[in-house]
Amino acid sequence: MSPPKSSASTTRRRRQPPWAKLPDDELLDLRFCDLGLTIESTPLLGRVEALYEQLERRDIRLRPHCWLSDEWFSPDQVPGIAIPFYLAHPRLQRLERRMMLDVEGGTTPWCMQILRHEAGHCVDTAFRLHRRKRWQKVFGHSTEPYPDNYRPRPYSKAYVQHLDSWYAQSHPSEDFAETFAVWLNPGSRWRQRYKGWPALKKLDYVDDLMGEIAGQRPAITSRKRVGRLSELRKTLRLHYQERQRRYGVDEPELLDNDLHKLFTSSRGTGKRESALGFLRRSRTELRRTVSKWTGENPYTVDQVLQEMIARCRHLKLYRSNSQRQTMHDAALLLAVHTMKYLLAGQPERSL
């Protein structure tokens, strides 16, 4: 994969795809293969090149091939990275936010975090690291089945903290990929960050292991592209229906209805506080209150609160009642949606 020859200004002047101005309902009826997108025509190319530079700096002779698909993943036996389609165009990111309340990898730092994580899977695959007895002693067996859901231990220091949801705790392969991602990040200062943590032993092991394979050619070099966007015939509508069921996310319309009951869309004659500002300012207190009511971990509550904040940003709502009344009502609403989230189960991620 090589950088584009055109300048940034030329890229900005490129003609927008015909679907870019479609309303959501019409856009959702398109198939993935109708989008006609490639990584080379987007800012994703620069992020992939940045990943290659970080691997080269460590003398790791692997450049994971990347392609657009329906979500993030690195296939079994393929040292490559599938990147979700919505990161290839701002219009698709807006649709993703509306349907899923967030855009995973939507900023450059966040995208690089995930790319480094996926690169960990690629290195593991390409050099067959999970077969080593020492790897298995440090991380566990990669053959363990992935759980449908998992309950993390937020205060454990046996794992690095990289992606959200304490993802390193979900499976031995994810533990390695997360540890590798922290190690690869040129600005992580992991020796200081994890000093005194059991997780530091894992980082030291990865540091030694990468030294062993430095300069070596990988054993697995498959360039297969699983789930390539141009081959997917599924519509975006069906894709989002399946994802919403899979991740236990409330239909945005249901959450929106509740938020409209709590807040107002009218700014009024005075300077009403925005719902977004209120939730951000009250985040700590709301999280603590609802965690006490429900007996659930504050992190779990915060996941639901993040969804509420994302929707309020989109809906442009305002606080119309007193601080005390709004705090009470917001806590009740947060508690209700937290319990819905828990009943749906915390899902397995696909990274």
What confidence tens digit (pLDDT) does each residue in 29-76 have?
999 999 999 999 899 999 999 999 999 999 999 999 999 999 999 999
What does the block give as tokens for 318? 């305002």
For residue 250, the model assigns a pLDDT of 56
Q: How far apart are CA 133 and CA 2, in angstroms?
A: 37
Percent of the chain with pLDDT over 90: 70
With residue 309 as reference, give the H or E element that holds it.
helix 298-315
Distance set, CA 168 to CA 1, 162, 244 (Å): 30, 8, 23
Percent of the chain with pLDDT over 70: 89
Flag whether pLDDT at 294 surpasses 50: yes
Query: Closest by alpha carbon to 142, among 153, 156, 131?
Result: 131
pLDDT in tens, 176-223: 999 999 999 998 999 999 999 999 999 999 999 999 999 999 999 999
For residue 351, the model assigns a pLDDT of 63
Q: How far apart are CA 298 and CA 334, in angstroms?
A: 12
What does the block give as tokens for 258? 């509740």
Under 8 Å between Cβ of 272 and 324: no
For residue 54, the model assigns a pLDDT of 98
What does the block give as tokens for 211? 């030294």
Burial 183-196 (b: 16+ CB within 10 A, else e): bbeeebebeeebee
Helices (H), 71-184: 90-100, 108-127, 133-139, 172-184
pLDDT in tens, 101-121: 778 899 999 999 999 999 999
* Least confident window among 9-18, 71-80, 133-142: 9-18
Flag whether pLDDT at 2 surpasses 60: no
Flag whether pLDDT at 144 surpasses 60: yes
Q: Could you tell me the pLDDT band of residue 4, with boundaries at 50, 70 and 90? A: very low
Q: How far apart are CA 53 and CA 339, in angstroms?
A: 44
At 290, give phi and psi (nearest 5°): -70, -35
* More confidently predicted of 182 and 154: 182
Q: How far apart are the first and last CA of the chain?
A: 22
Cα atoms in the 13 Å half-sphere on the side-chain side of 65: 13
**DSSP line for 113-128:** HHHHHHHHHHHHHHHT
